[in-house]
C-alpha cells in the first residue's frame, strides 16, 4: 500500500553532503522521524528528521505546525506521504529551500534524543518462530511450539513507562528467583540478564474501541518501524511467569532507537511472505490479498556486544548476531495489527507493537543470549577471551538494522544501545 515514488529515486542526492556518503544510515531516501533538543538544554522536545549527520528541525523549516509527534503520526497516509515529499524535495540538490532550511539543521552530535513519541500502550508479540521453538525446547522438549502458535499471533501487554531511548543506561533488576533444587525462592540481582532483538512497529492512525481494522487496511495504520530491545531477566521470568506471563522480568527497561523509519521509506524493501509446506492457512481475518502482496519487511538486523574491558582497551563492539527479519517472522506487521484489533481493542497513535525476538533459522542469527548459549549452558567466547552466558555489569549491547537491495539506496535504522549498570 506504500508506493515507490520519486522520494525513493536512487539518483536523488541531498544538498546536505553527509547524506550522500555511501552506506550512511540516513540518505535522502530514508528521512526517519525523531524527537530531539540541544544536548544539555532543558528545551522542549522538537520533531526532527535525520538527514546525513544532521537533524532537520521540522517546525523551524516551516513544514510542521506541531511539536507533538503523536499528532503528526495520527495523520492519514496521504498526508504523511505529502509531508515526506515536501521534506524530500526541500532537502534535494537544487532545492529552492536550501538557504532557508540550512538554518533549520542541527548536527546530530550536538543533540540529545528521547523516545520518539509518547507510547500510550506497548504490546509485545512473539512472531519469531525460530525463537519460540528454541526457547520452547528448553522448557518443553516434547512440544516446543504450543498448539496455538501457528494460528494465533501470540502477544501480551508490556510496560510503556519504562521504555527508554538508546543511550540511556539502566540498573540490573533485582527480584525473586528460585533455583530448581531450592526449597524456597531468594531475592537478589538477576543473574541471567539477556537482550531480545526485536523491531518496534509504531501505530499511526487510531481505530475506535469496538471497531476492528481489516487485514488489508492494517498496514495503513502503521506509521513506521524502529529497533527495539526487550531486555529480559530470565531467572525472574522462570519463577514469576506462571500462569499470567512475564512481568518484572521485562518491565525494568526496554530500549528503542531514536528514529522511526517510516513505512513509506520501507516501500522498496519487502520480501515475500511464505510459510512452510503443510502449515495452516491463516483464518480469514488474518489473510488478505494486500497482506500477501505486501509480504514481510526485508530488514537485516545485527547485535553488537562491547564489554567494559573491551571498551577500556579500545576494542570495537563484537557482532553476536546477523539475520534477516523475513526469515525470522511468522506473521506480518499487518497481521499483528489486525489481530490486536479484531476483538475491538483500540490502538492509538504512538502505540508500540514489539515484533518478538527475531531469531533466524541458524544459531548465528539467534536474537538472544538464551539461544546463543543454549539456555546458559554453553558460554560464548569473545575475541578478547572473555566469556559470556548472560550480560554482566558494564556490558554495552547495541542493535543495528538496515535495508539494502539492487536498484535502491541503502537505508539504516541507527542504533538501540544501552549499558547495564550494577
List of residues contacting its own copies (CB under 8 A): 120-121, 123, 126, 136, 139, 146, 148, 151-152, 154-162, 164, 170-171, 173-176, 178, 184-185, 187, 209-210, 212, 233, 236, 239-248, 251-253, 280, 283-285, 339-340, 342-348, 351
Alpha-carbon distance of 235 to 114, in angstroms, equals 30
Alpha-carbon distance of 349 to 368, in angstroms, equals 29
Spot the catalytic one: 8, 130, 131, 339: 131
Nearer to its own copies, 146 or 290 (CB): 146
Alpha-carbon distance of 409 to 46, in angstroms, equals 28
Provide the grid cell at 416: 538501540
Nearer to its own copies, 10 or 188 (CB): 188
**Residue 131 falls in the annotated catalytic set:** yes
> Computed from CA positions of residues 107, 111, 114, 118, in that sequence, does the dihedral angle turn out positive or negative?
negative
Residue 196 C-beta: closest distance to its own copies, Å: 13
Among residues 122, 250, 159, 168, the alpha carbon closest in space to that of 416 is found at 168
Residue 101 C-beta: closest distance to its own copies, Å: 36
Nearer to its own copies, 36 or 252 (CB): 252
Residue 255 C-beta: closest distance to its own copies, Å: 12
Q: Is residue 160 within 8 Å of residue 122, measured between CB atoms? A: yes
Nearer to its own copies, 1 or 154 (CB): 154
Beta strands in 169-313 (DSSP E): 170-171, 174-177, 186-189, 193-194, 197-203, 222-229, 232-233, 254-256, 261-262, 270-271, 296-297, 300-306
Residue 146 C-beta: closest distance to its own copies, Å: 5
Alpha-carbon distance of 121 to 105, in angstroms, equals 32
Nearer to its own copies, 110 or 176 (CB): 176
Residue 244 C-beta: closest distance to its own copies, Å: 4
Residues forming the active site: 131
Amino acid at each position: 500500500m506504500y508506493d515507490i515514488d520519486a522520494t525513493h529515486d536512487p539518483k536523488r542526492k541531498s544538498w546536505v553532503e553527509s547524506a550522500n556518503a555511501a552506506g550512511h544510515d540516513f540518505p535522502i531516501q530514508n528521512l526517519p522521524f525523531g524527537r530531539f533538543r540541544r544536548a544539555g538544554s532543558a528545551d522542549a522536545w522538537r520533531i526532527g528528521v535525520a538527514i546525513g549527520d544532521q537533524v532537520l528541525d521540522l517546525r523551524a523549516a516551516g513544514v510542521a505546525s506541531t511539536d507533538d509527534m503523536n499528532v503528526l503520526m495520527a495523520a492519514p497516509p496521504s498526508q504523511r506521504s505529502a509531508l515526506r515529499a515536501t521534506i524530500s524535495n526541500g532537502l534535494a540538490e537544487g532545492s529552492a529551500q536550501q538557504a532557508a532550511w540550512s538554518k533549520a539543521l542541527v548536527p546530530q552530535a550536538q543533540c540529545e534524543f528521547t523516545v520518539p513519541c509518547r507510547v500510550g500502550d506497548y504490546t509485545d508479540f512473539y512472531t519469531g518462530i525460530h525463537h519460540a521453538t528454541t526457547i520452547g525446547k528448553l522448557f518443553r522438549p516434547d512440544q516446543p511450539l504450543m498448539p496455538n502458535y501457528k494460528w494465533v499471533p501470540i502477544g501480551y501487554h508490556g510496560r510503556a513507562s519504562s521504555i527508554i531511548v538508546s543511550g540511556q543506561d539502566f540498573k540490573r533488576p533485582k527480584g525473586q528467583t528460585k533455583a530448581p533444587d531450592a526449597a524456597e525462592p531468594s531475592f537478589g540481582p538477576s543473574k541471567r540478564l539477556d537482550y531480545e532483538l526485536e523491531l518496534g512497529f509504531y501505530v499511526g492512525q487510531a481505530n475506535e474501541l469496538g471497531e476492528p481494522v481489516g487485514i488489508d487496511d492494517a498496514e495503513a495504520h502503521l506509521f513506521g518501524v524502529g529497533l527495539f530491545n526487550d531486555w529480559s531477566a530470565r531467572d525472574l521470568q522462570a519463577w514469576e511467569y506462571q500462569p499470567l506471563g512475564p512481568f518484572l522480568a521485562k518491565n525494568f527497561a526496554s530500549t528503542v532507537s531514536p528514529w522511526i523509519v517510516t513505512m513509506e521509506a520501507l516501500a522498496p524493501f519487502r520480501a515475500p511472505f511464505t510459510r512452510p509446506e503443510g502449515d495452516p492457512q491463516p483464518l480469514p481475518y488474518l489473510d488478505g490479498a494486500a497482506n500477501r502482496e505486501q509480504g514481510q519487511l526485508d530488514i537485516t538486523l545485527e547485535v553488537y556486544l562491547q564489554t567494559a574491558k573491551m571498551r577500556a582497551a579500545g576494542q570495537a563492539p563484537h557482532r553476536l548476531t546477523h539475520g534477516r527479519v523475513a526469515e525470522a517472522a511468522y506473521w506480518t506487521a499487518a497481521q499483528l495489527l489486525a489481530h490486536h484489533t479484531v476483538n475491538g481493542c483500540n490502538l492509538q497513535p504512538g502505540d508500540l507493537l514489539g515484533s518478538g525476538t527475531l531469531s533466524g533459522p541458524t544459531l548465528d542469527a539467534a536474537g538472544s543470549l538464551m539461544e546463543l548459549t543454549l539456555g546458559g549452558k554453553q558460554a560464548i567466547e569473545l575475541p578478547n577471551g572473555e566469556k559470556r552466558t548472560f550480560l554482566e555489569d558494564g556490558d554495552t549491547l547495541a542493535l543495528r538494522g538496515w535495508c539494502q537491495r539492487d536498484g535502491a539506496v541503502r537505508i539504516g535504522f541507527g542504533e538501540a544501545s544501552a549499558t547495564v549498570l550494577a
